[in-house]
Chains A and B, each alone.
Chain A
Amino acid sequence: MATSGTTHALDLPEICALIAIHLTKAELGECILVSHQWANTFRPLFWRTMLVPRHKVALCRDEDLARHGHHVRILAAGRIQQSSPFDQASVCSLQHLEVSTCGSNDEPDNGLGCLPAIVHRNKTSLSELHWMCFGWDMKLNKPYRIWPEIFLGLERLETLMLSKWTISIDDFLTILKACPSLNTLTFEATEDLEDLSPLPSNSNVSNSNSNKIRRGSKMIDVSAQDRPPLFQHQGVHTVHYIGHAMPGYLRHLPKVQTLHLQNLTHGNLSTIPDEIRQYCPEIASLHILTLCSNPSRFLALVDSIHTLRSFQGRVPSEAMQDFLEMVLAKHAESIETLCLTEAESDGLRFNVWRFLENCPRLTDFQIPYKLEGSLLEASSTVAVPTGFTSSYFSSPRFLRRRPYEPTKPWVCQDLSKLWLRIKDMDIQLMETIALDLCVDRLIPLTEKVPKMASGGGSSSSYQYQQQHQTQGRVQSVGSLVGHHAHHRHGYGHGHGGARAHSPLERLIVEKLSGLKKLSKINIGSGWYDLPEMKD
């Protein structure tokens, strides 16, 4: 390809790699057929990722892998049994491996087949492993027990996902000790061999002094000296539990920062809050994508977090009020992301504006519930004594209905993503607010028309249309503005909109236009991207 002595772009592997990113496997295959030089350039990129569906594994050819297997970095090898085309000397540089094996109590190799050989061969390069087991152990009446020795030597393993296994605490410790580089763990439909956590006591006091553990259905006394010293892995920072939670693992993972809980059977949080409180002070992010059967356990979970930075997911509706109070009371200074998934309940009665008034680090705030436009709130002169939740004070005699008025300025200057819905708010108005913000951003400060003239916020954008239309500025704002410009012409005149804005609505627009970093907003009618503020 290079005609003179100078380098051609296609001679540089990093550039070819960048080109290959945009090509499908089939297209890379065509490139290999162009010439010897192109074959040498693109072949490593073609073979780099092998995602072999189960029905095609039989077609894999040993000879081809013998020749090109050393290029493979990412491999989904399907089911591994006694033999596999991927069990050969050339396949030795894998970074990412996804496999499944069929568990067995009858086979001498426990159904592992040639997997240990493959893993062992790739132990110096392997950084991500997904291992799923098929089958059900009738003796244990649980998924098959894992074979932790396979992890010996996997010093570079960082990400591990295990599906449908039974893993005892000892197995888990073997894995942790074998893999010092681990940082992300995912357990799907995986169970502990025995429940080793202490019996939950009646009070909420931590159970560190408890010396009883449960083995099967009996409680056994274990005195302090019988218990081995606690091994703790200093690297793992993210844990996902899908389907089933194993709280007993958490005491070995003091550095966990992010905890995901997904689709837990019966919404059972088990003793996770207690484990976190005692062993995991650094957890700052919670993703709860599961129903919780017990709202007070849910609250205990949130309460066990020392400094909450991010919460995403589902809140049980009975716990919503207390949850929001708790976050405001304990984590107002640290909370950055608060994104609730939509649920059935409507008419959330909580002064959500308090988050915007009190949380300086808030950047992503999504509450897709229909908030009451005026608030039934606890009288602000009645202090909530400790030990009582605020829901006590929601009884009618303490409430009054008043419209939201800002008592404090909004402190969340870094807010970049916002989703709020106000009950009974006019759809057209919702779009107008977003539109006004867009337009607001595009006018340089010196040319701004004074806002809040009689008729509310929409008049400013209307006047803007009038002033600049001939200059063709409107075109740069995109089709949305153009559509609305025609739409509003129909309504005509400086008063804009179908009705006058309520004080709440005017307030929202005013407050929102002060948020300079706001880039995405949804006020009930969909997401709008806001252009960057012009200086």
Chain B
Amino acid sequence: MPVTLTSLDDVKFTVDKEVAERSILIKNMIEDVGESDSPIPLPNVSSAVLKKVIEYCEHHRNDPVQVQDETDDPRKRSNDIEEWDMKFMTVDQEMLFEIILAANYLDIKPLLDVGCKTVANIIKGKTPEEIRKVFNIVNDFTPEEEAQIKKENEWAEDR
């Protein structure tokens, strides 16, 4: 059964119900609305981003639904991102963050996790200056402030 989604810029996407329901937000909307052909409006998501999100949901349509476990530590799950997901996430920075925002809004936990893991991997192993370069951030610390923070961090780090 097909479902129609409308993006922020009024572009319509038709997908299978099973694919759309990877988003818990959409799943709940469908349940509330019941049997209806009217398109589901997603005013927070642009068409470019929605296209990517749908691509992800199509590829992962058969994945088992992750059971919410309070004791589940995401670090304990596999640390490797799947090859397909890695390729999927090779996008410019702006799109990466837009996908994360969309996954958060649409409540697609696996996509959100992959996105955040990808950002974490970008940050890992970089000095503050390198991080600034990647994300185009201006250093607004005075040297005294920097020295202060370095001292604080020193003893607070784990063994």
Q: Which residues of A contact B (CB under 8 A)?
A: 1, 7-10, 12, 14-15, 18-27, 29-36, 38-39, 46-47, 50-51, 53, 56, 59-61, 64, 67-68, 532
CA distance A56 to B158 in the complex (A): 10
Partner of A30, one of B121, B128, B139: B128
Chain A positions within 8 Å of B33 at CB level: none
CA distance A21 to B158 in the complex (A): 15
Chain B positions within 8 Å of A59 at CB level: 155
What is the minimal beta-carbon distance from A520 to any residue of chain B, in angstroms? 14
6 contacting pairs across A/B (C-beta < 8 A):
A21-B116, A22-B74, A22-B75, A30-B128, A34-B128, A50-B156
What is the minimal beta-carbon distance from A88 to any residue of chain B, in angstroms? 15
The proximity string for B residues 20-56 relative to A, scoring 1 for CB distances below 8 Å and 0 otherwise, is 0000000000000000000000000000000000000
Q: Is the CB of B146 within 8 A of A33?
A: yes
Q: Is the CB of B150 within 8 A of A33?
A: yes
The 4 closest A-B pairs by CB, nearest first: A22-B120, A33-B128, A29-B153, A9-B97
Q: Is the CB of A34 within 8 A of B137?
A: yes
Chain A positions within 8 Å of B120 at CB level: 19-23
Chain B positions within 8 Å of A21 at CB level: 74-75, 116, 120
CA distance A30 to B64 in the complex (A): 36
CA distance A26 to B159 in the complex (A): 10
Beyond contacts A51-B158, A51-B159: 11 other A-B pairs, Cβ-Cβ < 8 A, are A1-B135, A12-B101, A15-B100, A18-B113, A21-B120, A29-B156, A30-B127, A31-B131, A46-B156, A56-B155, A64-B156
Q: Is the CB of B97 within 8 A of A47?
A: no
Q: Is the CB of B128 within 8 A of A8?
A: no
Q: Is the CB of B155 within 8 A of A14?
A: no
Chain B positions within 8 Å of A50 at CB level: 156
CA distance A12 to B158 in the complex (A): 26
Chain A positions within 8 Å of B74 at CB level: 18, 21-22
CA distance A36 to B75 in the complex (A): 28
Interface members, chain B 89-111 (any A CB < 8 Å): 97-98, 100-101, 104
CA distance A46 to B150 in the complex (A): 13
Chain A positions within 8 Å of B15 at CB level: none
Task: Evaluate whether A25 and B149 lie within 8 angstroms (CB atoms) in the complex, with A12-B104, A532-B64 already known.
Answer: no
Chain A positions within 8 Å of B75 at CB level: 21-22
Q: Is the CB of A27 within 8 A of B155?
A: no
Q: Is the CB of B149 within 8 A of A39?
A: yes
CA distance A59 to B157 in the complex (A): 11
What is the minimal beta-carbon distance from B50 to any residue of chain A, in angstroms? 16
What is the minimal beta-carbon distance from B18 to any residue of chain A, in angstroms? 13
Task: Tell me the nearest residue of chain A to B74, going by C-beta.
Answer: A21
Chain A positions within 8 Å of B100 at CB level: 9, 15
Task: Evaluate whether A15 and B153 lie within 8 angstroms (CB atoms) in the complex, with A27-B124, A33-B141, A53-B159 already known.
Answer: no
Task: Tell me the nearest residue of chain B to A16, going by C-beta.
Answer: B116
Partner of A26, one of B141, B149, B157: B157
What is the minimal beta-carbon distance from A74 to any residue of chain B, in angstroms? 12
Chain A positions within 8 Å of B123 at CB level: 19, 23, 27, 30-31
Task: Evaluate whether A30 and B126 lie within 8 angstroms (CB atoms) in the complex, with A25-B158, A60-B155 already known.
Answer: yes
- The verdict on B152 contacting chain A, using a C-beta distance below 8 Å, is yes
What is the minimal beta-carbon distance from B33 to any residue of chain A, in angstroms? 27
- The verdict on B117 contacting chain A, using a C-beta distance below 8 Å, is yes
- The verdict on B132 contacting chain A, using a C-beta distance below 8 Å, is yes
Q: Is the CB of A30 within 8 A of B159?
A: no
Partner of B131, one of A20, A34, A61: A34
